[in-house]
Chain A
Amino acid sequence: MKHIELIELLYKYRKLIDTAFGGEAIEDLPSELVKNITIFQKVAKKYELSDTYVQFANAMLKRVDANYTFGDYNEEIKLLIRLKGDYLDSKDLSLISRIKELVRTLYKKIEQRDILINARINDIVNNNDLSIELIIKDAMDVDNRVSELIEAHSQNLKILSYELRGLDDELDEVLVDIGFDMLPLTQNIHTYNKRLSDFILRTKKRKLQNKKLSALSQKIMKEQDYECKSLLLSNPSVYHHTLKERKSANIKYLPSSRELSRASFVQSLQNILDMEKKQRISEVNKPYEVSPNIELKAIKLEKIQTDLLKDKPQDIYSYILAHSEILKFEDKQLKISYAFKTYLTIIQNNRKNISLNQDYNNSNIRIVKWI
């Protein structure tokens, strides 16, 4: 297989390899990945990424294996105890200088380890490139390792502070000095442990939060976010009142106490209050009056004439006065006036059809007879 083919193969199965890199064992692999290359190895019927691949990937990602970085220095401690025993047996002073040398080296190593752990934790906490799952896994690995170190470290301290004391004055001095120098390092280990635990908790919480956030936004996009709507609407008084954002305020504000205390403000306020009251000139209000209904009445002359022709009365005036056209008028004077006007008109128009009588009727009007 050529190198370029290897890269293509890795790209083809990138998701699968990435899942395995996260620590999952794979049950079934495509034959391409099993045959010619050793990216995976079979462990207890399941496939895991091979150590060579993991080392390569870690190196490329600048991701240091936790086990590789932090030593517990058990070997050095064992050696110190052995040297102590040898010294007690032989009282050989050269052994003391070897112990001194070894104690110094041990301290240097512990200090170096502290720097490395700190750097590693900073890497984990600040690394935004690795996936959240991988980060949690790394942090948990380091956290477990640091927890183990706490135990080992207290053992180391016990040896340095008690076990090696009293052998030699110079050695005691070195041990006391180193004991002081070790104090912050001891403190640090506990801080790392706490820092990582907090970080893991936070990151796990965030992972869950992301899952929820993704679920809810899917629902929103599908218009199925009933819970969200009802939550917001059930108690809007605790949620942000969404006004339309503007540069100018939506609600006019009250003057501040500083503005109120200004002399000029008080002055202008006073001016307003002292103003002369002006008489308001109001318009005279004329009440609206409803005009009375006027009934317009007229006489149908033709109707009277037709009736005259039909009835041929002996006294035309009396006949007209009693006619229904004249009776329309309620006022007595009006009746007489209209009856007389009608009487005159009819006599004028019908000279040939009437005969004048010498006598006067009750109304002192000449009796005229229709022929």
Chain B
Amino acid sequence: MDIAKAFEILSQGKIISSNSVQHNELSNMLLNNAFFEELDELITKIGYRLIGDGGCFYIAKKAKLNATEQQTFINRHRDTIVAISFLRQLYPRIDRGDVVSFVGTTTEYINNKQEDSSIYDRLVYFSWMKNKDDEKAMLEQLFKHLEDKGVIEKIKVDDTDKYKILDSINYYLSIVDIVEKGEE
């Protein structure tokens, strides 16, 4: 792992969590101050910033965002917040480092829906599928989204059931904490 490889991964728009197994090498490198500073210096030169906070690392843009970027920026954050709130509604105590199972989530979802139909609204909001009756497919989408956004990762490459919650969940939860501060 060198600066170039680190830059290549981060510039794909990923949030790297320090408890990620997939990006274990990169996160270890980023925990090294000298490496972090060197990469930050490089990234700063091209108008971005390297941020390391709460166990996750990502690239932020220094300059003002243009209209398209703003739209993507807002939507991505909102979608992920809704997806996390879906998970927390099913598993109120789930947190980074915990393991979540897809099959288990499906069962939990069905149980929860009988008591409180608002969980279905959250799933529907999230899904861009036309068939809103195919809840399993929508759940699959939700997991895929969380995986793409670096909030969860497969425990084993060939295991499509068990996922680990990554540190980046804290990044989104901290946004929620700031926004909803007035209601404590």
Q: Which residue, of A128, A135, A207, A251, has the highest number of chain B Cβ atoms within 10 A?
A: A251
CB distance from B113 to the nearest CB of A (A): 16
Binds A, one of B17-25, B29-37, B66-74, B131-139: B66-74
Partner of B85, one of A213, A240, A241: A213
Give the docked Cα–Cα distance between A228 and B182 (Å): 13
Give the docked Cα–Cα distance between A176 and B49 (Å): 63
Cβ contact within 8 Å between A241 and B183: no
A240-B58 in contact given A221-B122, A232-B73 (Cβ < 8 Å): yes
CB-CB nearest in chain B for A207? B92
Q: How large is the interface on A (under 10, 10 to 19, 20 to 34, 35 or more residues)?
A: 35 or more
Q: Does B155 contact A (CB under 8 A)?
A: no
CB-CB nearest in chain B for A225? B78
Q: Does A255 contact B (CB under 8 A)?
A: yes
CB-CB nearest in chain B for A259? B4
Partner of B176, one of A213, A237, A242: A213
CB-CB nearest in chain A for B184? A208
Chain B residues positioned under 8 Å from A280 (CB to CB):
none
Cβ contact within 8 Å between A209 and B176: yes
CB distance from A221 to the nearest CB of B (A): 5
CB-CB nearest in chain A for B86? A217
CB-CB nearest in chain A for B57? A240
CB-CB nearest in chain A for B7? A253
A249-B73 in contact given A212-B177, A228-B78 (Cβ < 8 Å): no
Q: List 25 A-B contacts (CB under 8 A).
A: A131-B92, A135-B93, A203-B93, A206-B95, A209-B173, A210-B92, A213-B88, A215-B183, A220-B82, A228-B179, A229-B74, A231-B178, A231-B179, A236-B60, A237-B61, A238-B51, A238-B60, A241-B58, A242-B73, A242-B77, A243-B11, A244-B13, A253-B7, A256-B2, A256-B3
Cβ contact within 8 Å between A254 and B77: no
Chain B residues positioned under 8 Å from A249 (CB to CB):
7-8, 11-12
Give the docked Cα–Cα distance between A239 and B93 (Å): 26
Chain A residues positioned under 8 Å from B64 (CB to CB):
236
Q: Does B76 contact A (CB under 8 A)?
A: yes
Q: Does B158 contact A (CB under 8 A)?
A: no
Query: Binary interface profile of B, 29-56, with partner A (CB < 8 Å = 1, else 0)?
Result: 0000000000000100010110100000
Cβ contact within 8 Å between B78 and A220: yes
Q: Does A233 contact B (CB under 8 A)?
A: yes
Cβ contact within 8 Å between A221 and B121: yes
Q: Does B156 contact A (CB under 8 A)?
A: no
Cβ contact within 8 Å between A242 and B49: no
Interface of A is mostly: helix
A221-B3 in contact given A214-B89, A240-B15 (Cβ < 8 Å): no
Cβ contact within 8 Å between B93 and A258: no
Give the docked Cα–Cα distance between A82 and B154 (Å): 64
Give the docked Cα–Cα distance between A250 and B176 (Å): 29
Q: How large is the interface on B (under 10, 10 to 19, 20 to 34, 35 or more residues)?
A: 35 or more
CB-CB nearest in chain B for A131? B92
A254-B4 in contact given A237-B62, A240-B15, A241-B58 (Cβ < 8 Å): yes
CB-CB nearest in chain A for B64? A236
Q: Does A247 contact B (CB under 8 A)?
A: yes
Query: Binary interface profile of B, 89-100, with partner A (CB < 8 Å = 1, else 0)?
Result: 101111100000
Q: Which residues of A contact B (CB under 8 A)?
A: 128, 131-132, 135, 203, 206-217, 220-221, 225, 227-229, 231-233, 236-251, 253-259
Nearest first, the 5 A-B pairs at minimum CB distance are A243-B13, A212-B180, A217-B85, A256-B4, A242-B76
CB distance from A359 to the nearest CB of B (A): 95
Chain A residues positioned under 8 Å from B94 (CB to CB):
128
Give the docked Cα–Cα distance between A319 and B14 (Å): 99
A241-B175 in contact given A213-B81, A228-B78 (Cβ < 8 Å): no
Cβ contact within 8 Å between A250 and B11: yes
Cβ contact within 8 Å between A242 and B88: no
Partner of A213, one of B5, B58, B84, B178: B84
Cβ contact within 8 Å between B74 and A241: no
Cβ contact within 8 Å between B4 and A216: no
Q: Does B157 contact A (CB under 8 A)?
A: no
Cβ contact within 8 Å between A231 and B11: no
Give the docked Cα–Cα distance between A233 and B184 (Å): 23
Partner of B92, one of A132, A236, A241: A132
CB-CB nearest in chain B for A251? B11
Chain A residues positioned under 8 Å from B125 (CB to CB):
220-221
Cβ contact within 8 Å between A242 and B93: no
Question: Beyond the given A214-B85, A254-B4, could you list 11 further A-B residue pairs with CB under 8 A, ordered by the A residue number?
Answer: A128-B91, A210-B92, A213-B84, A228-B77, A245-B13, A248-B12, A250-B12, A254-B7, A255-B4, A256-B3, A257-B2
Chain B residues positioned under 8 Å from A209 (CB to CB):
88, 173, 176-177
Give the docked Cα–Cα distance between A140 and B13 (Å): 43
Chain A residues positioned under 8 Å from B91 (CB to CB):
128
Partner of B179, one of A208, A227, A258: A227
CB distance from A266 to the nearest CB of B (A): 17
